[in-house]
Amino acid sequence: MKLKLLALSAFSISAISTFIPGFTSSAKAVCVLTDVSVQLAIHGKNSVANQKNNVNQQASDNCYGNTATSTGVQVHTGHGSVNQNRNSSQYVSGGNNPTGVPMPAIKIHVNPQIDVPALPNY
């Protein structure tokens, strides 16, 4: 009998626990700025790839609960040298920080630059 009661109790707790997230407020955080770009150059062995990625990310001092994401892809395949230049600017503001604690924005850069001097020279 005790085993049945224990099993019923465990089942009741697991069934109720699925509703608990609905009763809690959603999580919010400071502002998040994300920049994702790829620069790829496949070129001749005796040539060069100049790759530049300039990212400027700014957020207002009281920014809270907002996000911005920018993406970019640059691909070059061929003989000869190449210049790949990318400029990206982001600005986020607004929101209301209920904690009163100033927090800096989170800034994420994912910007691989791939340079493959593999093609034969002609």
- Span 27-77, pLDDT tens digits: 567 899 999 999 999 999 989 999 999 999 999 988 999 999 999 999 999
102 phi, psi to nearest 5 deg: -70, 135
Domain assignment present for residue 46? The answer is yes
Instruction: Name the residue with tokens 């850069």.
Output: 109
Domain assignment present for residue 12? The answer is no
Domain assignment present for residue 54? The answer is yes
For residues 52 and 83, what is the distance between their CA atoms, to the nearest angstrom?
8
Domain assignment present for residue 61? The answer is yes
Looking only at the bridges linking them, the beta strands covering 82-92 and 49-59 are parallel
Full domain range(s) for residue 47: 26-119
Domain assignment present for residue 32? The answer is yes
Domain assignment present for residue 39? The answer is yes
Domain assignment present for residue 2? The answer is no
For residues 42 and 89, what is the distance between their CA atoms, to the nearest angstrom?
27
The domain tally of the chain equals: 1
Model pTM score: 0.70
Q: pLDDT > 70: what percent of the chain?
A: 75
